[in-house]
Structure 1
Amino acid sequence: MKKIGITCYPTIGGSGVIATELGKKLAERGHEIHFITSSMPFRLEKVYVNVYYHQVEMSHYPVFQYPPYDLALAAKMAEVIDREKLDILHVHYAMPHAICGILARDMAEHPVKIVTTLHGTDITVLGIDNTLKPVIRHGIEQSDAVTAVSESLREQTVAMLETNKEIDVIYNFINEKEYYLKQVTELRQQFQINQSDKIMIHISNFRKVKRVQDVIDTFKKVNEKIPSKLLLIGDGPEYSNMVQHVNDMGLEKEVHFLGKQNNVSDILSMADLMLLMSEKESFGLVLLEAMACGVPGIGTNIGGIPEVIVHNQTGYIVELGDVHQAADYAIELLSDREKQLQFSEAAIKHVRTHFASDTIVNQYEHLYNRVLEE
């Protein structure tokens, strides 16, 4: 049994999901897990044995233009390290969490190992900023171990930061107890969707890099040939623009904006196809969640997406912005029931074979053991 601290962004998002699910899985295996975050992680929806939560408390001083969250986090980390005698502090995101973890390690009296998991924007967005690059590099190189959620992200990190730090690739995973193909006939009726209609789905934070307009434009072309509905889940900066775009094209009755949803497995189970047309995507966890529910995906040839989708087996890969090809693939699949079933079965099998939670958690446990032995 090990005592492991976990710090992540507690809000809805792929990194927070993975960090929280990892903690829950480790707790099931008898490890003592301590979440150190600004608020309760949204996936900690109930009491779990061996799971503890430590809230970072913020102080507001007039001398600071902004509350010093990073310093407050580091102080709380050091406090928990010493009080709980943590063996490992596993931080998700290099900025600011790895930097805070390193500072906490320096402040704490009890020795602790720092494991940093890179999820994407801490490298692909923040890493472009020359003022932050040395800070991010320091966070990575001073960590005792570093992981990336895809080979693409590992390669980007090495190239952008010019670091020689060994980076292990450990893929994301899903909770099989939640993400599986369910019977959702009543849910389809609640949405008033005809049994003959095909359902396409997109889940994101509605940022520009997600290119939700490409999703809508692809759907429009598909809907012209096959009666369909598009379910858009999430919220963010482009939400209002996308509502306007749908209205401009006269698709109000075909496109459903569902907003933020804490758990989407039921909705995924009634979908026929997932669309992820991003221009930046280090992994694409929503694709994995969809595939676990038997939903094939169409994604761009960007980042880690090709490491999740097996082209022409569990879905299709298209070039960035190619809504015509995406629509053609969607029409080809949705008009062939036998092919759709083949893709659905292949998607479920692919997730179970390559992204099973037990397999991925084993990899993290092996990493922890290696770090503690060094």
Structure 2
Amino acid sequence: MEPWERSESASVKKPMAPPMDALSDDLLGEILRRLPDMASLASAALVCKGWGGVASDPVIFRRFLFLRTPPLVGVILTKRNRECAAHRNDLRFVAPRVCDGGLLLLSCGRYSSKLAVYDPLQRTAIFFEPPAGWHMVRYAIIADEVGPSFQVIAICPWHSHRFAVFSSGAGKWVVVNSCRHSWMCVDDGMAAGRFVYWRSNTKRNTMNDNEEQIYVLDTKTMVWSVITAPFPAGESYCVADMAEHGGLCIVSSKEQCVLLWVRDISGGWVVKKEVSLLNQFGYLKRIRRDEWMKRLRILSMKAGYVYMEFWSIRKSESYILVLNLNTVKLQQIFRNNADERYRGAAFPFFLRLPPLPAADDDKELQDA
């Protein structure tokens, strides 16, 4: 048959697709980012050693942290003097300062002359001292999401234009002189993804009682920014890094309502979602009435889940609430029926997950 006599219905042979091992790491990374869930990424990581290395890359792995339920171990409660709820006898002179990624930053002594980053599950600690000559230091810790490393950020009222960074890799403080902010009235900081932030302490600040300032540090670029909260000072809130909403967002509470604030196109703040806990969940209204549960405190937000403490103004009891903000469902509610009041800082404690495993070449051959 001549080429011009070929039937229209005759199939045309398609070119063969390139082999999978011919894909570059960048192209493979773009493909893995589009997988639907963490289980699919884990399966892809077991294909071969090369795929395992790409799947374990922090840039790709971080994308899937927003697609899974954070493994909440529990909540560490403290008194106002920062005495720990769980181990107050053994840690009488140790104060939990901040928590992130399953790691606690502890300070020892009245003037916090000793510091330690403690892993309660592994029962290991790294000890170090505050920056030399610094007093009344405010700290924040940010843990590596896929590894054992961490950073501690320190700011000090007496060094207004400087901050210091302690890296677990270097094992020492590095003072940075590129800051233009004053830290006269701030509490210890909190992590929000790659960011850490410090909230202005409005109880001590008498100059800007009606304005809540949030000092934010990008730990990747070490660039500072200041956010003016879109609500009056005194409300409970936390900052979250939410890629699906364009970056940093704020979750606040007002009269047992949870509000999600996001940036609009002009850079202002707008309420993206509002959840009335008492109207949405009737049994909370009954708990509020029977047990005088009046105060709602936002603890943190992680992967779309808001962690809150609902506590009584008359009794020592409190409830820990976990709200899925995407589905507007109360995922967990558990009661703290302690005899003593723990009205100090409260830290949701999450299990640290190791990097995704990468299969070796022998296992690849066995699976083939």
| TM-score where L is the length of structure 2 | 0.25
The higher-RCO structure (CA 8 Å, 6+ apart) is 2
Bigger strand fraction: 2
- When Rg is computed on C-alpha atoms for both structures, the one with the higher figure is 2
| TM-score where L is the length of structure 1 | 0.25
